[in-house]
């Protein structure tokens, strides 16, 4: 493992040679756009709760309106921020390699759409999408208008959870993966296959704490594929990496992809 504080010629050479790149992104890249990470201090209505208290099926069953409003408020906040240079650099690299017959495959643990809004295609949202909804009973998907909260001002009171239009008793829930729930099998298998076929794997802005997503880089390790971490701090995955670049994705990814598009 080499710990670096800039993009070196060795890392640039890896990027220039790579034809099939897999990127695993986590909360850090979205935090740079202003999306609070899941474990940051809550405010207003939420200050009595940890995020984990609001992100379980048990919490929803106990107080659906509170959980529903927290996720709608978080979606509103996401709508008010913009993709940052890290997102934009990955999107540009993806387009450039696609033109040359290669690929940059993005797998994200984030439930937002910032990669897509930057112009990238995302293979897999491992933890679901905050803007997708389904019935907690019958599973029927639903589309809803955008929330009208100010995402930077906490709602004063919880709003009622909408009922399902397709069954009698169900309530709508966000289409995210709560603690204790299984990841979507198809998304995880697609992510694993992308990492197996990659000749370079980037791990960007993820702490490496949340399993089983954090196990995906092990697939590259087994094949001897170069692993590069971009994160300001040491993570649970750092010791597995060939290179650990200590900096934000907004700084380091533009430097890494410069000249590749």
Question: For 199, phi and psi rounded to 5 degrees?
Answer: -110, 5
Binding site, annotated residues for NAD(+): 109-112, 205-207, 231-233, 249
Query: What is the reported pLDDT for 2?
Result: 85
Number of H helices, E strands in the chain: 9, 10
At a CB cut-off of 8 Å and minimum separation 6, what does 223 contact? 196
At a CB cut-off of 8 Å and minimum separation 6, what does 250 contact? 32, 84, 85, 86
| Both structure tokens of 90 | 């990955």
Query: What is the reported pLDDT for 38?
Result: 65
Binding site, annotated residues for Zn(2+): 135, 138, 164, 167
**Tens digit of each residue's pLDDT, the chain (261 residues):** 788 788 989 999 999 999 999 999 999 999 999 987 766 645 555 566 776 678 899 999 999 999 999 899 889 999 999 999 999 999 999 999 999 999 999 999 999 999 999 999 999 999 999 999 999 999 999 999 988 888 777 766 888 999 998 897 899 999 999 989 999 999 999 999 999 999 999 999 998 888 888 899 999 988 999 999 999 999 999 999 999 999 999 999 999 998 776
> Any bridge partners for residue 172, and if so which?
135
> What's the rounded Cα separation, in Å, for the pair 36 and 116?
19
| Both structure tokens of 30 | 């979205």
Binding site, annotated residues for substrate: 71, 74
Domains of the chain: 2-257 (3.40.50.1220)
Report the candidate in 71, 76, 64 with the shortest Cα–Cα distance to residue 160.
64
Binding site, annotated residues: 71, 74, 109-112, 135, 138, 164, 167, 205-207, 231-233, 249
Q: How far is CA 153 from the centre of its chain?
A: 23
Is 127 one of the catalytic residues?
A: yes
- Max Cα separation, the chain? 61
| Both structure tokens of 155 | 């709602």
Query: What is the reported pLDDT for 46?
Result: 56
At a CB cut-off of 8 Å and minimum separation 6, what does 77 contact? 34, 35, 36, 151, 152
Query: What is the reported pLDDT for 11?
Result: 93
Query: What is the reported pLDDT for 36?
Result: 79
**Cis peptide upstream of residue 212 (ω within 30 degrees of 0):** yes
Which one of the listed residues 87, 115, 125, 127 is annotated catalytic?
127
The DSSP output letter for 138 is T
Query: What is the reported pLDDT for 53?
Result: 75
């Amino acid at each position: 493992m080499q710990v670096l504080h800039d993009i070196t010629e060795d890392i640039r050479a890896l990027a220039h040679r790579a034809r099939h790149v897999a990127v695993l992104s986590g909360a850090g890249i979205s935090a740079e756009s202003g999306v609070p990470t899941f474990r940051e201090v809550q405010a207003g209505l939420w200050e009595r709760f940890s995020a984990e208290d609001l992100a379980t099926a048990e919490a929803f069953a106990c107080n659906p309106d509170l959980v529903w409003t927290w996720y709608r408020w978080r979606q509103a906040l996401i709508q008010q921020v913009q993709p940052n240079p890290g997102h934009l650099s990955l999107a540009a690299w993806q387009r450039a390699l696609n033109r040359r017959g290669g690929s940059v495959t993005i797998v994200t643990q984030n439930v937002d759409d910032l990669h897509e809004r930057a112009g990238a295609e995302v293979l897999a949202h491992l933890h679901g999408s905050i803007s997708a909804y389904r019935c907690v009973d019958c599973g029927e998907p639903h589309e809803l208008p955008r929330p009208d909260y100010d995402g930077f001002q906490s709602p004063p009171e919880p709003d009622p959870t909408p009922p399902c239009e397709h069954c009698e008793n169900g309530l709508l829930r966000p289409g995210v993966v709560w603690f204790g729930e299984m990841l979507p099998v198809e998304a995880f298998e697609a992510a694993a296959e992308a990492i197996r076929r990659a000749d370079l794997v980037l791990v960007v802005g993820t702490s490496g704490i949340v399993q089983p997503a954090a196990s995906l880089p092990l697939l590259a390790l087994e094949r001897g594929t170069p692993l590069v971490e971009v994160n300001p701090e040491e993570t649970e995955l750092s010791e597995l990496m060939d290179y650990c670049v200590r900096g934000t994705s907004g700084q380091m990814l533009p430097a890494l992809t410069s000249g590749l598009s």
